[in-house]
Structure 1
Amino acid sequence: MQQPHRIFPVLGLGFLNIFLNLIQAPMSFCADDPRYLNCSSTIQCGDLQGISYPFWGLNRARYCGLSPEFQITCNKSAPTITITNQNFRVLRINNASRVLTVARSAYWYNLCPRYLHNTSQVAPFAYTSDTVTDNLTLYYGCPSISSIIPGSMMESSHFTCKTNQSSIVGYVLVKKAGDFTSANLTSIRDYFGACNTSVIIPVNLSAIQDIEANVTLDALKAAIKQGFGMQWPDDDGLCQKCLKSGGQCGQVQNSGEFTCYCRERSHSSSCPGMP
């Protein structure tokens, strides 16, 4: 036979558990800020993994990064960034040094892109100190000229761009450090002034040195695929302060001001409870 006097203590414990659960329920139903959750995700594309602020795109919303120049897209596992209407293939991102290593997408597979344009200004980025911006020039639509310019100032190698109707002759010129003078400039114009157009491509300093040692098309293609560096501005430690407080970095789109997305809502610099 059941002992009636034991039922009441058991029921009392049951009601106590229900009461405690009800007290804790508001905490469990308090959802994280969707912006915090979205900016907690990282960009994954090909070899580029774990990319976060100041970059956005793909699964990261616009408010998780900076200006449109920081948007990353993914084209057949190739991460791409667009600056001043030109596409660059993203090779590496170093948040510690704030350096983005990129290569001109149009020249990734061949030297004969459909549209021939110089690399535009890269603002809001700045070229890194090991980036050479004016030593490598490609000339297109040239007459049949000597493949070697006399003297030690410059060297060149020619290539051909084939189209359905015709073939276009092109030349690669590498300016050697310390040898570019106003007198030599006249010689260059004499040799290449008859070419239809020219394109200057930024490359890494070490790549220029390799081409100087051996001016070949293979060396040129390797230099282009090695890419060059661009650095984005310092934020004076704002993002690091936000991350250390448990938040995620972002930007207020209307004002462009930095914001720290915390679990409950956004704050100007860091999450509550942290300095």
Structure 2
Amino acid sequence: MQSFDSVIIGGGPAGMTAALYLLRSGASVAMVERLAPGGQILTTEWIENYPGHPKGVKGYELADLMADHLKDFSYTTLRQEVRSIEHQGPGRNLVHLDEETIQAKVVMICSGVAWKHLGLEREDYFTGRGISYCALCDANFFRGQAVAAVGGGNTALEESIYLSKIVAKVYLIHRRDAFRADKILQERIKNIPNIECVMQSVATELVGDTELKGLRVTHLPDGAQRLLDVSGLFVFVGSTPLTSFVPETLTLSPARFIVTDQEMTTNLPGIYAAGDVRDKLCRQVATAVGDGATAAHSASLFLDSL
């Protein structure tokens, strides 16, 4: 059985940053990532808000730069999926993978989230070609254009308010007759002239060939259809943290995000979480990098104490 000082689950910005800091400290590291390094940024066409890239950078290019930073270090990459983590006490963890079990003194959970989709035909194809799941990331690509947003919670309304400052028109689509968001957000929405609330309606068809050109919506009470002339669709129907494999005794939020303190430590000694999988407000590349660095520093101190 292979044994490491640290096993990092997930190869996105948080995981790669944690690996960099741990490797620089002299720890032995295994990174478990079933896909290519990069995580969510691999599906992001263009990133304009990452420090050091004032003109923006393509998501896959940023992922490649982060991965290149690790090339001078020796570590183990395992292209497998984590099935479960068995926490046996401080400094003793078993990580069960598809094909093997490995030992780890510390475990860094950087597995990220899966954004909930609408389930429309060709939704995956149009992601990055008109469909986005982050207004803060992608609103500038639609400056002066008309876009649609789907959702009824706080995130949907907050992101729509942000969009309204950049785009010409926001169609805010919600399947119910009232939003679930806080009342203060609902009042703000009412006073923004370029936001049109399309209530009791659902998105039913994506229109376009190689890029999104429109969105067909259906009014639920009567089945009436409407074609919205939009070039962008922002989906804010929630995200699902990838935490199905964590120990049962690990503290999770009601939405199953991992609860940590400000040093990225969990309730289980030697298990840390960083990036989007963590219970927090802001999920961005920059915050994932900060989480990864903080978690690695905490883990290094823990390793020194063993």
**Greater C-alpha radius of gyration:** 1
Taking structure 2 as the reference length, what is the TM-score of the superposition? 0.23
TM-score, normalised with respect to structure 1: 0.25
